[in-house]
Amino acid sequence: MAEAAPKITDPKALRALAHPLRWQLLEILGRAGTATATRCAQETGESVANCSYHLNLLAKYHYVEKAEGGQGREKPWRAVRDGFQLSTEGMDDDGAIAARAASSAFLDYELNQIKERSLTAHLNPPEWRGVVGVDNTKEFLTPDEVDELRSAVRDLMEKYRDRRQNPELRPEGARSVGIFLSTSIPPTRD
């Protein structure tokens, strides 16, 4: 089972996450459990060599590792962690720049996935069309209330986490569903 989501503080390790393909590879491994560079290439449309290069770079910073099994050059990879905390809090300038670059690449990847999946939702089976989508609201909350809300959503998502690593726990008809929670406020202008 993958480790809990640590805060990444090494600027070089953060810069390794500043590439959208690397986020896509991490998503594939998180969804599939393990995958070879060949499978990653099939899912991303990239070359096997390019996927292998990026997987090796992710391994250098301990985001992924070789998994058991495979034959010859077809060795599977697996994610080392379930997620990462990307924050500039307490970082020096170099670290903060690297954290923002990693966050930007992550957001580019996630928002592109949301957009692509929204535009192709009509291709899903009818039972999925009514249950996936985007919800949006603007509420007036205190910092404590935002923390409470985020904690409640994380607790709800945690209920299904074991299914990620253990396919036997997935009910019939279950699919990988992306859940993206964003809480934000406009900057204060003094």
CATH fold for domain 11-169: Arc Repressor Mutant, subunit A (1.10.10)
**Average pLDDT over every residue of 144-163:** 91
Q: Is the pLDDT of residue 190 over 80?
A: no
Domain ranges across the chain: 11-169
Predicted pLDDT of residue 12: 93
**What is the CA angle 48-52-55, rounded to 5?**
140
> Does residue 164 register a pLDDT over 90?
no
HEC sequence for 90-150: CCCHHHHHHHHHHHHHHHHHHHHHHHHHHHCHHHCCHHHHCCCCCCCCCCCCCHHHHHHHH
% of the chain beyond a pLDDT of 70: 96
Mean pLDDT of 52-80: 91
Q: Which residue has the tokens 């480790």?
A: 3
> What is Dmax (Cα atoms) for the chain?
61
Instruction: Give the integer Cα–Cα distance in Å for 142 and 127.
Output: 37
The DSSP element (H or E) to which 57 belongs, if any, is: helix 48-60
- pLDDT for 125 equals 92
Which pLDDT does position 69 carry in this prediction?
Answer: 84
pTM above threshold 0.75: yes
Residue 189 has a pLDDT of 72
Tokens of 9: 């503080």
pLDDT at 4 over 90: no
Average pLDDT over residues 30-35: 89
Q: Over the stretch 21-30, which tens digit does the pLDDT of each residue have?
A: 999 999 999 8
Give the Å distances, CA to CA, from 51 to 14, 18, 23, 36, 102.
19, 15, 12, 9, 18
Please determine, for residue 178, whether its predicted confidence score (pLDDT) is greater than 90.
no
**Per-chain mean pLDDT for the chain:** 89
Q: How far is CA 38 from CA 43, 84, 85, in A?
A: 9, 25, 29
Query: What's the pLDDT tens digit per position in 98-134?
Result: 999 999 999 999 999 999 999 999 999 999 988 988 8
pLDDT, residue 61, reads 94
pLDDT at 2: 42
